[in-house]
Amino acid sequence: MALNILVIDPDEEWLHTASGFFKEQMYTVKAVNNGKDAQLALYNEKFFAVVLNYSVKNHSGSQVLKFIRTNHPSQKVVLVFENEGICGGEEGKEKYKKMGANEVAIKPFELSELADLLEGHQSLGDLVGALPRKKGTSEEVEVKEADDDFTGIRIDEFYSSQAVLFDVFVKLGSGRYVKILHAGDNFSKERIDKYKNDKGVEYLYFHKKDRRKYIQFNNFIAKKLINTNNISGATRINQLKNVTDKYLEEVYTQGMKPQVIDQGKEVVNNIFNFVEKQDDLHKLLKDFEAFDPKLYEHSFMVSVFATSIIKQFEWQSQITIEATALACLFHDIGKMKIPREILDLRPVEMDDEQMEIYKQHPEFGVELVENNRMINNSVKQIIMQHHEAYNGTGFPFGIKSSKILTLANIVCIADDFVHIMLDEELSPTDALKKMITDRDQVARYNSMILENFIKVFVDPSKLKDQNKQKVG
């Protein structure tokens, strides 16, 4: 059943255009041009969301917003302003959000941007409920579309709800695809198995515009796997890896939008629960055969090792672990502002000028998140300091010792470790040996952090036995 939205705007032409657009996006739309009719509609019907132009008359926008907050406090509201001046800038946006608006949009904007805001507030239940349900499975269809419109996932790591959330494709060649599952179809494992087993297909593809749906559903699957007994650690970490990879694609293409940050918080909550509940985490992280690091996104690997280190400290908490995991996902976001030709080089291959530009990426990263109120100061500090070293040899400022945030030094050691492991193609245990036998490397870290990093690879029960012997 399509989601129902209420669109309120005094401009009849805009109202007509917006209504047509949202109907094409599979919404049902109630469109009114005044506040009185809006309040009547809210009294008589239920809506997934309300798009309210603040300049509406005959019951003003502020009156309608107050009516919603009083009578429908959980109602999702996108408040639209004709220009920035009416809204009052960032302070104004915060004021209206306190008055009950979930999002604030300033004209002119593309209707697709408005659709993104609405989609960002859809729960998994909303997504499934709004699907155009079909009986059985639709016929396969060959299509020609640009490769840049698609993103891929390994076929043996693809999960689906009973009703397929988005179109799924197999790639035939450059710009040529076969749509093997249609949004709203009943999921056909037989069709997936046919391509996997009979035709040797290794990857499935879906549109990048559906990436947020993929992330939302696979966050849900990751949570289920983490909370289900008899699921291997490798299966859980693979699922976390897949959803994190697609999430980072979304960050680097869509930017730090509120709905993107919200999904990131779900990702790091799953990382926290995985680290907290995986009893044999030390074995999983030590055993090279359990997962191939070359297949893993760098930022995800850093987040897993950094949060595993924090778990060794008595002061660890869910808030601390989740903040650090979020910082790990974003720690290199400043590289978006570094020229591609520099990023394609390894640091040892850069000349002095290129290295100076490269060393600015922590500052660039903080610039990108500085005004985002959904990201706290600890996360921003970690992004800024993740290349600072305990002995003062790091960058961008060369600070040392207690001037470096402990969490930042934890991310530093995790980041260095992952680089050594991936760049030199070493197993986790060999990378660890290389690190702790290098005096210059060891000097980069607080000794307590280094000690707790080593404990990540040790069976916790053995540590408890050692502690008992010390006490005895």
CA 33 – CA 196 distance, rounded (Å): 53
pLDDT of residue 454: 95
CA 357 – CA 351 distance, rounded (Å): 10
Query: Do residues 271 and 357 share a domain?
Result: yes
Let me know how long the chain is.
472
**Cα-flanking dihedrals φ and ψ of residue 31, to 5°?**
-115, 130
Query: Do residues 409 and 286 share a domain?
Result: yes
Query: What is the domain count for the chain?
Result: 3
pLDDT of residue 284: 83
Contact 393, 444 (CB under 8 A): yes
Nearest Cα residue to 416 out of 295, 276, 302, 303 = 302
pLDDT of residue 458: 86
Query: Do residues 82 and 168 share a domain?
Result: no
Q: Could you tell me if residue 22 is inside a domain?
A: yes
Contact 453, 413 (CB under 8 A): yes
Q: Could you tell me if residue 381 is inside a domain?
A: yes
In what helix (H) or strand (E) does residue 90 lie, and over which residues does it extend?
Answer: helix 89-98
pLDDT of residue 140: 95
Q: How many CA atoms lie within 13 A of 125 on its CB side?
A: 1
CA 106 – CA 109 distance, rounded (Å): 7
Q: What is the CATH number of the domain that holds 60?
A: 3.40.50.2300
Kindly tell me the sign of the dihedral angle through the C-alpha atoms of 34, 35, 41, 42: positive
Query: Do residues 319 and 399 share a domain?
Result: yes
Mean pLDDT by 10 residues, the chain (472 residues): 92 96 93 97 96 96 96 96 91 91 94 90 85 81 97 94 93 97 92 95 96 95 94 91 93 86 94 92 70 64 95 94 96 93 92 97 95 90 98 97 97 96 88 95 97 89 56 45
pLDDT of residue 129: 80
Kindly tell me the sign of the dihedral angle through the C-alpha atoms of 379, 384, 388, 390: negative
| pTM given for the model | 0.85
Contact 284, 234 (CB under 8 A): yes
* Range(s) of the domain holding residue 158: 141-209
Q: Could you tell me if residue 472 is inside a domain?
A: no
Contact 463, 455 (CB under 8 A): yes
pLDDT of residue 400: 94
Contact 178, 170 (CB under 8 A): yes
Strand 150-154 to strand 203-207: parallel, antiparallel, or no bridges (unpaired)?
Answer: antiparallel
